[in-house]
Amino acid sequence: MWRPTLQQSILMLQEGQWSSGRVGRRACPVTTLLSMEQSRGLMARAIAQSGAALHTLPDEPGRTVGRRLAERLGVEPTRAALALVEPAVVARAVRELVEDVQGTPDPVRWESLALTLTPFAPSVDGEVPAAHPLDAIRSGAGASVPLLTGWNRDEARFFMVASGAIDAVDDAALRHGARGYGLPDGGLEVYRRNRPGASPGDVLAAILGDWMFAVPAIRVAEARADPAVTRFVRDGDPGWGAHRPDDRRVGVLVDGVREETDPAGAERRAWDGVC
């Protein structure tokens, strides 16, 4: 089975060419690549949209995913066995496995993946990557690459509305889900207060979206605190100032772009010390 090299992986992420280099996007792959020593010099600029380097796949859930994927393919859960399967067949099995996790998030079958709904994510093995991506970024990895990062406000609804799960959430499930993501009871109340009249499913969708997409992007921005973002593609200005822990300016894209400082700050602070 063909497996891309690191350089080929970056080429697969590239969306177009500007000035002397290329821009990669897709948050988790991009920020993970930025965190790796092997990627040095291979990216000129990067856009990390929807999530970032915070979440990885722990060892046991990763092994569960490997076993389930191998079962679908009818092979042993080993690298050698998977390498003999045609890439198109693997891709189809991967898609079906993702649909299974997201459509029927059974904690007995999928363990912690029933909360994350993301069966495929970086798994730190000490080599590729050598360290947790966020730890590496905090230590300066990828600091020379200008980075533009962000998320969509209601992104988790893509998972919960399509599957119908949003309508199945009651108050007990909301509390259980919030605790599963590590959000303390006080944080849950912040989300409730900010959404008067919202259903438990709506509140849980907001919590899931922040845990999966918003907070990771914020943590990467905090780790870098890099003014180079304002010298982004073609030395252009994206329309707002750089995000720093002491000056949390962001660009909000609705009908055009407007600069805001720390929107939904109370909800952001609810995750401090959690992730």
Q: Is 182's pLDDT higher than 80?
A: yes
Q: According to the model, what pLDDT value does residue 142 have?
A: 87
pLDDT digits (tens, 9 = 90+) for 209-256: 999 888 988 888 888 765 444 344 444 456 677 777 888 888 787 767
Percent of the chain predicted with pLDDT > 90: 28
Between CA 75 and CA 261 the distance in angstroms is 52
The tally of domains found in the chain comes to 1
Closest residue by Cα to residue 47 from 225, 261, 238, 274: 238
pLDDT digits (tens, 9 = 90+) for 3-21: 444 444 444 444 433 333 3
Q: According to the model, what pLDDT value does residue 30 have?
A: 84
pLDDT digits (tens, 9 = 90+) for 26-64: 556 788 888 888 888 888 888 888 777 778 888 888 888
Residue 203 resides in a domain: no
Q: Is 1's pLDDT higher than 50?
A: no
Q: According to the model, what pLDDT value does residue 82 have?
A: 92
Q: What is the SS3 assignment for 25?
A: coil
Determine how many CB atoms are found less than 10 A away from the CB of residue 271.
20
Residue 90 resides in a domain: yes
- Name residue 168's amino acid: A
Q: What is the pTM of this model?
A: 0.70
Q: According to the model, what pLDDT value does residue 18 have?
A: 32
Residue 111 resides in a domain: yes
Residue 71 resides in a domain: yes
pLDDT digits (tens, 9 = 90+) for 85-132: 999 999 999 999 998 888 777 888 888 888 778 888 888 888 888 889
Q: According to the model, what pLDDT value does residue 57 have?
A: 83
List the 247-254 sheet strands across, edge first: 243-244, 247-254, 256-261
Q: What is the SS3 assignment for 100?
A: helix
Q: According to the model, what pLDDT value does residue 190 have?
A: 96
Q: Quick one: pLDDT band at residue 167, thresholds 50, 70, 90?
A: very high
Token representation of residue 216: 């990771």
Which is more confidently placed, 184 or 230? 184
- Tallying the residues shown for the chain, one arrives at 275
pLDDT digits (tens, 9 = 90+) for 140-155: 888 888 888 888 889 8
Residue 64 resides in a domain: yes
Q: According to the model, what pLDDT value does residue 193 have?
A: 96
Q: Domain of residue 84: give its range.
A: 58-117
Q: Is 70's pLDDT higher than 50?
A: yes
Residue 67 resides in a domain: yes
Residue 148 resides in a domain: no
Residue 86 resides in a domain: yes
